[in-house]
Structure 1
Amino acid sequence: MAHGTSLQYERVAEIGGGAYGTVYKARDTESGRFVALKSVRVQTDHNGLPISTVREVALLKRLEQFDHPNVVRLMDVCATQRTDQETKVTLVFEHVEQDLKTYLEKAPAPGLAPERIKDLMKQLLCGLAFLHSNRVMHRDLKPENILVTSQGQVKLADFGLARMYSCHMALTPVVVTLWYRPPEVLLQSSYATPVDIWSSGCIFAEMFKRKPLFCGESEVDQLGKIFEVIGLPPEEEWPTGVTISRKHFPPFSARPITDFVPEINEQGAQLLLEMLTFDPCDRISALNALDHPYFRNEEILTET
């Protein structure tokens, strides 16, 4: 499974702890290049093999062969057995200096130009369409794991740490930070690739607003903030067998999305609403989003 050794990588700095443990910036002593190291501790079977992880890594390596421009490169995988029951698997990724969160914070007022947002969104959706076509869902998409190179290239990171999915997997809700979580995750219903589209919609809005669209403090609070914008969904769209009842919420009516994201143009607003659709079955797919008129029409710059 592994061909590198962890000795080849010299840790330089800690670049933050994610849901998956601490991430280090390191130098590859052979090439001199910087890399990002992410280690996962995995339970092993009686042969000392972390079965699901072997499958995960095999998938990541398969994705690597496509060399997709909007997905972070997996350079190497190292496995070190710690005990009979545990193996430490270190994934070595290319290192990208900044994430979208920093990139947005650094943008001088009044923020990013509409054409720049369109370009970033297009790249984000290209990366997602690629992952989804390979049956990988990200599940934890947020500005912190969308990397932006100094040339303005978008690269999705941390997706390999999501599991290969079967369509009806109700996952433990620890996988996503609250603000980018879709309703079906907040309600702990089953879910699939549309989760990533919802998160992308939240990020799309955030590029214009320069702050998150929905900042909830609990699952119920987050849902309430969502319904204030998109309206309380009809009874028949509410998933069955979930713990949070629809009766918890006031009968919010949908408000124009431009009340919340005033800088967005008409086609952008339409696309945003198709991404922020309550029912995941009705949410636009990454491929269809790339085909949306928002990306087809170049902005006509009018003299003012």
Structure 2
Amino acid sequence: MLNASNALGKGLGPDVALRRFGSKLTTFEKSEIMNYENVYFVGSAAKKHVVLSSIKKNNNGFDDEKGHYILNIHDHIGYRYEILKVMGSGSFANKGHYILNIHDHIGYRYEILKIMGSGSFANVVQAYDHAKKEFVALKIVKNKKNFHHQVKEEIRILEKLGHEDPDGSAKIGHIVDHFDFRNHKCIVFELMSYNLFDLLKMNGFKGFKELLVKKFAHSILESLEFVHRHNIIHADLKPENILLKTKYKSAVKVIDFGCSFFEDERIYTYIQSRFYRAPEVILGCDYGKPVDMWSFGCIVAELFTGHPLLPGEDASDQLALIIELLGLPPSKILKTSKRAMNFFSADGFPLYCSHKVFDDGFIAYGSGKSKRGKHRGAPKTRNWIATLKNEADDLFIDFLRRCLQWDPACRLTASDALQHPWIKRKLP
């Protein structure tokens, strides 16, 4: 329930807010609040940070050791947003990411409801906008110099996508606003429902029926087609970054463009979450939009089976799993690789498994094991049918295989995938 007793309706001027709520504010806030034209919420019920101007360490005490803003219960962010609820604060606090108190404000306008996610780059919280009287998702970026350029790039991409999609039909999670608060960049997004990983978890990781998988796949492809049409690479597509627009409906949107970039402005050499990382990225080859289609193929398989298709323990194991499923990479891929020596011998044999060369030139490969002792089969010994629970037909397998090609140039594009017979086929 919102702490409406200190919400300020249409907002107050800072001098009026200070007279009315000054006894509830810290010395720092009494000075800070004067920088805000309108004050909507002050978090007067929060346990406030007592900040001393003489303490410069960790952003005057507002940040933890890792640069995350320390959030307090009932406090505000930006004199507009209020923190309401903490989800899993104990474990996150122990890891040094943040120390949370519910009902804090952000920007004296937003009221935080709960933590939705935490990572090395930012915390994402559910918030209530006391100015617009609506719920939003609020991303609070880590206060570290190496993230400053990254968040500027994210905002630039989000604003470009928003400009190109004024009616919101592209199935992208759009930016609502952005601002700075206590040396942290904050980005406001429309609030949506569960992500697809949460949905899989709620379903006991059993996977979904083919019809539902196809509906999800179609929406994701529409998002990717739109993003790629504007020469943007998402670069971190995974179930956690695909959200249901509303509960109980299959419409989804792609979110989190924090690692995204324009194709002609590639600024990262290593991208994507490991399970969904394209082989050309692992091998240090040139890459482009097809990396998103690789991630997409992995996601579709996971939605169907309930489990990651390629759950590698590290980069070497990730590539071993790919080889186990697809076989050895084409020689032209290895020739352009900057990291091939990490995974292959000078003769081009994969290091994860044994091999024997016979007099007639025949090569027999053995199996291998991951660092944790998990079995990894010889190249191309993993069966697609068994991998997909013996429930996928030839058309579905063909669709996945075309998404998961070694050669990026041979993968389906998003627009091509939308025309594939599996996507277009109606199920009973």
What do residues 147-203 of structure 1 show as CA deviations (whole Å, max 9, x unaligned)?
013122111000255122317x37242x42211101011112221111110001001
User: Superposed, which structure 2 residues align to 1:204-215 within 5 Å?
Assistant: 204-215=300-311
Shift of 1:146: 0.6
RMSD over aligned CA atoms reads: 2.6
User: Superposed, which structure 2 residues align to 1:174-185 within 5 Å?
Assistant: 175-185=271-281
Counterpart of 2:324 (choices 215, 225, 228) is 228
Instruction: Tell me the residue number matched to 1:47.
Output: none
What is the letter of the counterpart of residue 111 of structure 2? E
Instruction: Tell me the residue number matched to 1:139.
Output: 235
What do residues 75-115 of structure 1 show as CA deviations (whole Å, max 9, x unaligned)?
11223473xxxxx3221111112100011122368542211
Percent identity reads 30
Q: Structure 1 regions of 5+ residues with no counterpart?
A: 45-49, 83-87
C-alpha distance 189-237 of structure 1, shift in aligned 2 (>3 A): closer
C-alpha distance 7-189 of structure 1, shift in aligned 2 (>3 A): farther
Counterpart of 1:25 (choices 102, 109, 126) is 126
Instruction: Tell me the residue number matched to 1:163.
Output: 261
Is 1:259 the counterpart of 2:364? The answer is no
Q: Structure 2 regions of 5+ residues with no counterpart?
A: 1-36, 39-77, 79-106, 354-364, 366-378
Residue 126 of structure 2 contacts residue 136 of structure 2 at CA under 8 Å; is this kept in 1?
yes
What is the letter of the counterpart of residue 258 of structure 1? I
Using the alignment, how far apart are the partners of 1:72 and 1:213 within structure 2? 26
Residue 334 of structure 2 contacts residue 340 of structure 2 at CA under 8 Å; is this kept in 1?
no
Is 1:12 the counterpart of 2:113? The answer is yes
Using the alignment, how far apart are the partners of 2:171 and 2:381 within structure 1? 34
Residue 181 of structure 1 contacts residue 199 of structure 1 at CA under 8 Å; is this kept in 2?
yes
Counterpart of 1:280 (choices 391, 408, 416) is 408
Counterpart of 1:115 (choices 208, 211, 217) is 211
Counterpart of 1:90 (choices 166, 173, 186) is 186
SS of the residue aligned with 2:118? strand
TM-score between both structures, scaled by the size of structure 1: 0.84
State the structure with bigger RCO (CA 8 A, min sep 6), 1 or 2: 1
SS of the residue aligned with 2:108? helix
Shift of 1:55: 3.7
Using the alignment, how far apart are the partners of 2:298 and 2:155 within structure 1? 33
TM-score between both structures, scaled by the size of structure 2: 0.61
Residue 140 of structure 2 contacts residue 186 of structure 2 at CA under 8 Å; is this kept in 1?
yes
Shift of 1:264: 1.9
Shift of 1:11: 1.4
Counterpart of 2:224 (choices 124, 128, 138) is 128
Residue 205 of structure 2 contacts residue 306 of structure 2 at CA under 8 Å; is this kept in 1?
no
Shift of 1:241: 4.2
Instruction: Tell me the residue number matched to 1:68.
Output: 169
Counterpart of 1:218 (choices 287, 290, 314) is 314
Using the alignment, how far apart are the partners of 1:225 and 1:281 within structure 2? 21
- Of structures 1 and 2, the larger Rg is shown by 2
Using the alignment, how far apart are the partners of 1:204 and 1:127 within structure 2? 14
Shift of 1:25: 1.0
The count of aligned residue pairs is 286
Residue 297 of structure 2 contacts residue 400 of structure 2 at CA under 8 Å; is this kept in 1?
yes
SS of the residue aligned with 2:408? coil
Using the alignment, how far apart are the partners of 1:231 and 1:9 within structure 2? 52
